[in-house]
Amino acid sequence: MATNRPLDGPIFLLGSHKSGSSLLRSLLDDHPRLFVLPTETHFFQYTGFWVDYRLRRALPRAMDRGQKIEALTELVRKTNEHEDPYADSVTAGLYDVERFRRSLESSRFETPRELFDAYVQALHVSLTGAELPAAVRLVEKSVENAEHAVTLRHMFPDCSFVHIVRNPYASLVALRRSRPGPGYPSLRAGACSLQNTYYNLYRNEGVLDRYMTVRYEDLVTRNAATMERIAEFLGVEFLEVLLRPTLMGKAWGGNSTGGTGFSGVSAAPLEHWKSEVNDLEIDLVNRMLAHVLDRFGYQRMAPRRSAVLPVKGEKPSTWLRNRILLRWV
């Protein structure tokens, strides 16, 4: 078995679904000093850790070496077939799955840190056919990583975190729109996931250094200044490529739930949600995340009518689940 070279100064992007983390990743994608993984690794979910983030929830379980290799290989296989336009990136056909498996199987690992190193090396080999160069730093984002940031720092003492936040009203609307199936969905998973991410943001800031928080709205409206600040924080040279969203070096068209693509950084999604947010969503955010609205300068909204009234397309059973959630919070 081969011993993998330890990763040097990895960068972890944190944020919930529909927060802007995919845009931030795409802006870092083409920097020559960075290896930006085009998909989420979901390392903790697939290697036996307890994940509380509702949309990626997993219970802890004991896994041997073979089970971990099989679970991660199956994830790469599914990712390689994924063509959901609302996913963080469409990467169908990018990975050589068998090359990934061979690389991971040939690696020596006992600790989570060693497994993560081997996993990233296998992903790089799968994508490029070559080992990750020593002078290149990893950039990775997975939505559940905010609750495991302390573990990541323990695994990688020299790592850095960039946590992106977005107006919670906008995030909840986008999450609702991305859910499959007809009719208005249950909001429990999306709302609890948002709460999980912000809870862990507040916790992480109190115990971790090299932890930067960025607003999605600033990334879009003050793109150059924000990316310069991020580059300085990460200790990488600011280059013009940091202003162009790409996926594996090619133009990235986004994953907006509005179905609109773009070739640069677009401010269009900033206002879309305002015409679609409903009283139930407003009331939920106000009850669960009012402190987040205040801290990051987002204006509080007031429901126009009673949030008890059904939303368009909301079935009676879904109405009941959503109102139980409203009562619970």
Given 248, 265, 298, the domain boundary residue is: 248
Amino acid identity, residue 165?
V
Given 185, 214, 248, the domain boundary residue is: 248
Please indicate, yes or no, whether residues 216 and 317 belong to a single structural domain of this protein: no
Domain membership of residue 258 (yes or no) is no
Q: What are the beta bridge partners of residue 11?
A: 139, 160
**How many distinct structural domains can be found in the chain?**
2
With vertex at residue 21, the alpha carbon angle to CA 15 and CA 23, rounded to the nearest 5 degrees, is 165
Please indicate, yes or no, whether residues 324 and 203 belong to a single structural domain of this protein: no
Per residue of the chain (329 residues), give pLDDT as tens. 555 778 999 999 999 999 999 999 999 999 999 999 999 999 999 999 999 999 999 999 999 999 999 999 999 999 988 655 555 556 778 899 999 999 999 999 999 999 999 999 999 999 999 999 988 999 999 999 999 999 999 999 999 999 999 999 999 999 999 888 889 999 999 999 999 999 999 999 999 999 999 999 999 999 999 999 999 999 999 999 999 999 988 887 654 545 444 456 777 678 889 999 999 999 999 999 999 999 999 999 999 989 999 999 999 999 999 999 999 88
Residue numbers of the domain that contains 284? 274-328
Please indicate, yes or no, whether residues 286 and 236 belong to a single structural domain of this protein: no
Please indicate, yes or no, whether residues 192 and 52 belong to a single structural domain of this protein: yes
Please indicate, yes or no, whether residues 141 and 281 belong to a single structural domain of this protein: no
Q: Which of 16, 24, 29 is nearest to 55 (CA)?
A: 16
Domain membership of residue 160 (yes or no) is yes
Please indicate, yes or no, whether residues 192 and 279 belong to a single structural domain of this protein: no
Domain membership of residue 159 (yes or no) is yes
Given 201, 231, 248, the domain boundary residue is: 248
Which tokens belong to 321? 């689940």
Domain membership of residue 90 (yes or no) is yes
CA gyration radius, the chain: 20
**Under 8 Å between Cβ of 65 and 77:** no
Please indicate, yes or no, whether residues 24 and 164 belong to a single structural domain of this protein: yes
**Under 8 Å between Cβ of 100 and 76:** yes
Domain membership of residue 4 (yes or no) is no
CA distance 227 to 220: 10
Domain membership of residue 259 (yes or no) is no
Domain membership of residue 2 (yes or no) is no
Domain membership of residue 119 (yes or no) is yes
Please indicate, yes or no, whether residues 32 and 88 belong to a single structural domain of this protein: yes
CA distance 46 to 71: 6
Please indicate, yes or no, whether residues 164 and 305 belong to a single structural domain of this protein: no
Q: Which of 20, 81, 60 is nearest to 216 (CA)?
A: 20
Please indicate, yes or no, whether residues 300 and 232 belong to a single structural domain of this protein: no
Please indicate, yes or no, whether residues 239 and 111 belong to a single structural domain of this protein: yes
CATH code at position 133: 3.40.50.300
Please indicate, yes or no, whether residues 23 and 78 belong to a single structural domain of this protein: yes
The separation between the first and the last C-alpha atoms of the chain, rounded to the nearest angstrom, is 51
What lies within 8 Å, CB to CB, of 56 at 6+ separation is: 42, 45, 142, 143, 144
